[in-house]
Copies of this chain bind each other. A is one copy, B any other.
Amino acid sequence: MPKDDCNTSGDRLYQMLATLKSHDFRITPQRLAVLKILAASEDHPSVEQIYEKVRVEFPTTSLATIYKIVALLKELNELLELGFPDESNRYDGKKPFPHPHVICTKCKKIMDPELTSFDELKEEIARKTGFRIIHHRLDFFGLCRECQKVE
């Protein structure tokens, strides 16, 4: 199975928990809540959005705690961060490795497109620049189907 196939959210939750445990990090209610949200999110939520969802179950949770958990998961390579200079960062807990994104500039939706012709591009880059490529970032900005309808 290719690694970018959509796993069930249960698989991802289990994987993230296993990684935390194997590094002797404690499983706190706040961490578990964030993990569940990330493992189940079809969109690419922001820290603020994760925060609001966690507060439904744990109203006293601090925003700093969410930031800390997100930083930890990022460090453990269990979370992909999409940083944006003008707005909040967005996170992908289902596919924690670099992959292309399609971003609607109007409704801010972020999707994972299926692409076949990307691998040869990566090879061409390494060959022509002499760089040792560590990771990449590929974003297409535009209007999603829904936002094209509204004038």
Contacts and interface: CB of A to CB of B under 8 A. Distances in A.
B141 A135 contact: yes
Nearest to A136: B140
Interface in A45-104: 83-86, 89, 100, 102, 104
Looking at chain A, what size class is its interface with the partner chain?
A: 35 or more
Secondary structure at the A interface, as helix, strand, loop or mixed, is mixed
Given A84-B83, A116-B124, A121-B118, A142 B137 contact: no
Interface string A32-46: 000000000000000
Interface of A: 83-86, 89, 100, 102, 104-105, 111, 113-118, 120-122, 124-125, 128-145, 148
